[in-house]
Amino acid sequence: MELSERKKKVLRSVVDLYIRTAEPVGSKAVTELPDMKYSSATIRNEMAELTTMGYLEQPHTSAGRIPSAAGYRLYVDELMMDYRLSIDETKSINNAIEEKMQRVDKMVEKVARLVSQATDLPAISAASRCGSLTVKRYDLILAAKSSVIAVLMLSNEQVVNKLIKLPLAANESDLKLLSAVLNASMTDIPPEHITPEQMEKVMRSAGNAASLVPVILDFVQETLRQSESTNVAVFGQARLLGLPEYRDVDKAQRVMASIDEEALSNLPAVMENTNGTKVIVGPENVSEELKDTSVVMTKFDIGDGMQGMIGVVGPTRMDYAKVTARLSYFAESLSKLFAKPEQPQLPESAEPEEHKE
Amino acid sequence: MELSERKKKVLRSVVDLYIRTAEPVGSKAVTELPDMKYSSATIRNEMAELTTMGYLEQPHTSAGRIPSAAGYRLYVDELMMDYRLSIDETKSINNAIEEKMQRVDKMVEKVARLVSQATDLPAISAASRCGSLTVKRYDLILAAKSSVIAVLMLSNEQVVNKLIKLPLAANESDLKLLSAVLNASMTDIPPEHITPEQMEKVMRSAGNAASLVPVILDFVQETLRQSESTNVAVFGQARLLGLPEYRDVDKAQRVMASIDEEALSNLPAVMENTNGTKVIVGPENVSEELKDTSVVMTKFDIGDGMQGMIGVVGPTRMDYAKVTARLSYFAESLSKLFAKPEQPQLPESAEPEEHKE
DNA sequence: CTTAGCACTCAGGAAGAGTGAGTGCTAATG
DNA sequence: CATTAGCACTCACTCTTCCTGAGTGCTAAG
């Protein structure tokens, strides 16, 4: 059933107010809003109907209304006003991102930290590889009498290396032979297909350098496996405590603990089939502890076939408009940055104006 | 002034009890301890004296006593009983550490997470390089028509690499020349000594590959600089909230926020001149917010000239004996592990017995 | 030196009263 | 018919008061 324009306006007002004050919203408060031209009685009637329709709730008979999960959902999907980032905001975001950074996952972490600051809520970051990797090319460098550097180029253009110390001396030509063998027979093979039999075959043809083979292939397996893992971190948890809904220490503790766990396991799965920004309102969360906690997550591509995810956790009453706006902007900036890694290109298309309030 | 044996015994009992219960300790409670053979009146007198000596405090006239900072200090330095880890504890520690891990800083983080679990307190981890690094050796590998892998071997035997894409094609002999030049003139130079003049000199002698020089040297500088930075992380913050002293949300928030900051900046400085395990009792902390929060930190060497630090943050009333024991054990295990990286050797010397309680 | 006894203090919980924001309903109004 | 004014009612919260009991310091006796 479709809501009347007036009902939508009332619902939006209630949600907005509740987001600001964290207290049940009464009919009078709504009346006092700038462009509400109805009396409190009318609003009361509308609110009563919105309550029976399930968009609002009443903590007890003589209190104002608060939005229900359905109310928030509707608000997020249809009602909320776009929040435009202020110039200051975009500037500080850009400055922060502009710094040269080397390791991709550290970069994502850093941005998550910024997001946490910007939203004054805890933030979660995750960097993960998607799709399985293989080795595209092997190089062996003789670094000293008895140490060899193995350099692997992976299918995503990433390069990794390992220093291997040998029990005995090695020479250039042995290494040349071995790397030729490896490049011929061990490229483009996913880690789970590296069998002991294959390993033996390689060893037989590797001549003097045969003792290197198991070390290298172990390293290969480890590298390919490990790079599939996700790297999750949480920042600014303490900010939760500043919010009235988490004045209850027990609740805060439960939520924070489950952010830690959730972050470390479930999170990647949740975003599996999504792209862009997703809002999970309270009870839509799987975990029991997070039933009145909302999550806004955004997924984006970063170079080398990796994906990044940054999210914010807060009370169901969080400022969805602001949070999603900021998060999207961060994600967009990061994507662009990684698209041209040597020459950071920052989004200018956004044309930020003074933000409405 | 030296304390009598009886006073020491009373002080120890009070601290022990307070650590367990988090509530002011009355004379009666002390009397009821197994080997206290005095009446409550006697204990009262002793406690009164300990109070005037500054080792105990009284929250208000009609309450029991709690240890003062000086009391804790004395307790930590002289009074507390050694805590022996139980077999179970050492087992779970060893299991956790045994897994193969690749990146050192991740390893330290993982252990910190374990420490947090084991102590049920927030833990801080830091991994940092000490002393300045230089490049020991350069290798350049032609990876494709127009991409080159630069492999640097650093003075600590660590190897790093970077994939460089060229605007034009390169050939083997150009790279051979360039790497010879680099190895001849740019080794063992700390990052701050890489001057533009030098860079130009190298470029002049580099022939066709000159355009690679700035990219490589930038990478060198970045690598050497970055590896000096410290990598700090905090885990299990939420555990603070389980403790009675942090039922006050505001306090908890202040402390947690300042753990975040402290962790990220001050921490390495604090441990500068220390080795092994250090206990910082409440007011000995620099930060105002942490005046009634204690920190136990331990510093240890991990391979490659890196140092690791793991610490625990908790109320002044934390179980110092247990925490220091566990922390030391973790640190010891890690040090040994890194001493023989390929063949994890776990401490057996500890000969853990059933722990006293 | 140790202990029993006693008067005194004071934090913290329980019970009760008052306050006011907010509601739903009804009747009047444009 | 939609809107609004008016009114009685509800109920969370706060403030105050009272009471209890754990703990103390001091004194006098063992």
Say whether the CB atom of A146 is under 7 angstroms from strand D: no
Distance CA A62, CA A58 (A): 8
Give the pLDDT of residue B350: 42
Average pLDDT over residues A283-288: 84
Residue contact A163–B158, C-beta within 8 A: yes
- Is B122 near chain A, with CB under 8 Å? no
Strand partners for A336: none
Number of Cα atoms under 13 Å in the Cβ half of residue B132:
11
Residues of chain A with pLDDT > 90, as a percent, come to: 36
Average pLDDT over residues A148-176: 84
Q: Which residues of chain B have a CB within 8 Å of the CB of A140?
A: none
Give the pLDDT of residue A352: 43
- Find, in chain B, the residue whose alpha carbon is nearest to that of A142: B139
Q: How many CB atoms lie within 10 A of CB B54?
A: 12
Confidence of residue A349 (pLDDT cuts 50, 70, 90): very low
Residue contact B161–A162, C-beta within 8 A: no
- Is B343 near chain A, with CB under 8 Å? no
Confidence of residue A345 (pLDDT cuts 50, 70, 90): very low
Range 139-178 of B in CB contact (< 8 A) with A: 139, 141, 143, 149, 151, 153, 157-163
Q: Which residues of chain A have a CB within 8 Å of the CB of B149?
A: 139, 151, 153, 159
Distance between B137 CA and the closest CA of chain A, angstroms? 8
Task: Name the closest nucleotide to A27, judged by C1' and CA.
Answer: C22
* Backbone conformation region of residue A272, classed left if phi is above 0, alpha if psi is from -120 to 50, else beta: alpha
As a rounded value in angstroms, the CA-to-C1' distance for B246 and C22 is: 35
Angle at A334 between CA A328 and CA A335, to 5 degrees: 90
- Is A256 near chain B, with CB under 8 Å? yes
Confidence of residue A102 (pLDDT cuts 50, 70, 90): low
Q: Which residues of chain A have a CB within 8 Å of the CB of B242?
A: 253
- Convert the pLDDT of each residue in A112-135 to its tens digit: 998 999 999 999 998 877 667 788
Give the residue with minimal CA–C1' separation from C5: B41
Distance CA A76, CA A72 (A): 6
Q: Tell me, what amino acid is at A229?
A: S
- Convert the pLDDT of each residue in A201-241 to its tens digit: 888 888 788 888 888 888 888 888 776 677 889 999 999 99
Say whether the CB atom of B27 is under 7 angstroms from strand D: yes
Q: Which residues of chain B have a CB within 8 Å of the CB of A237?
A: 237-238, 256
Q: Show pLDDT as tens, one digit a residue, over chain B (357 residues).
A: 678 999 999 999 999 999 999 999 999 999 999 888 899 999 999 999 999 999 999 999 889 999 999 999 999 999 998 888 888 878 877 776 766 555 677 788 888 998 999 999 999 998 877 667 788 889 998 888 788 899 998 887 778 888 888 877 778 888 888 899 999 988 888 878 888 888 888 888 887 888 888 888 888 888 887 766 778 899 999 999 989 888 888 889 999 999 988 877 777 777 777 788 999 998 888 788 888 899 999 998 876 677 889 999 999 999 999 999 999 988 888 887 776 544 433 444 444 444 443
- Is A251 near chain B, with CB under 8 Å? no
Give the pLDDT of residue A131: 66
Q: Tell me, what amino acid is at B36?
A: M
Number of Cα atoms under 13 Å in the Cβ half of residue A271:
28
- Convert the pLDDT of each residue in A13-66 to its tens digit: 999 999 999 999 999 999 999 888 899 999 999 999 999 999 999 999 989 999
Name the one residue in this structure whose structure tokens are 């390919």. Answer: A224
User: Chain B interface, mutation test: which of A220, A260, A304, most B Cβ atoms within 10 Å?
Assistant: A260
Q: Which residues of chain B have a CB within 8 Å of the CB of A260?
A: 235-236, 238
Contact B331, B62 (CB under 8 A): no
Distance CA B87, CA B239 (A): 24
Confidence of residue A98 (pLDDT cuts 50, 70, 90): low
- Is B223 near chain A, with CB under 8 Å? yes
Distance between A80 CA and the closest CA of chain B, angstroms? 31
Alpha carbon of residue B235 to chain centroid: 12
For B11, the token pair is 């002080």
Q: Which residues of chain B have a CB within 8 Å of the CB of A158?
A: 163
Nearest to B257 among A157, A160, A238 (CB): A238
Contact B350, B90 (CB under 8 A): yes
Residue A160, pLDDT > 70, answer yes
Distance CA B327, CA B112 (A): 9
Tell me how far CA of residue B212 lies from CA of A101, B143, B353, in angstroms: 20, 14, 61
Residue contact B249–A252, C-beta within 8 A: yes
Walk across the sheet containing B147-154 and list its strands: B135-144, B147-154, B159-165
Say whether the CB atom of B47 is under 7 angstroms from strand D: yes
Give the pLDDT of residue A5: 92
- Is A260 near chain B, with CB under 8 Å? yes
Give the pLDDT of residue A1: 60
Residues of chain A with pLDDT > 70, as a percent, come to: 90
Burial class (CB in 10 A: 0-12, 13-18, 19+), B237: buried
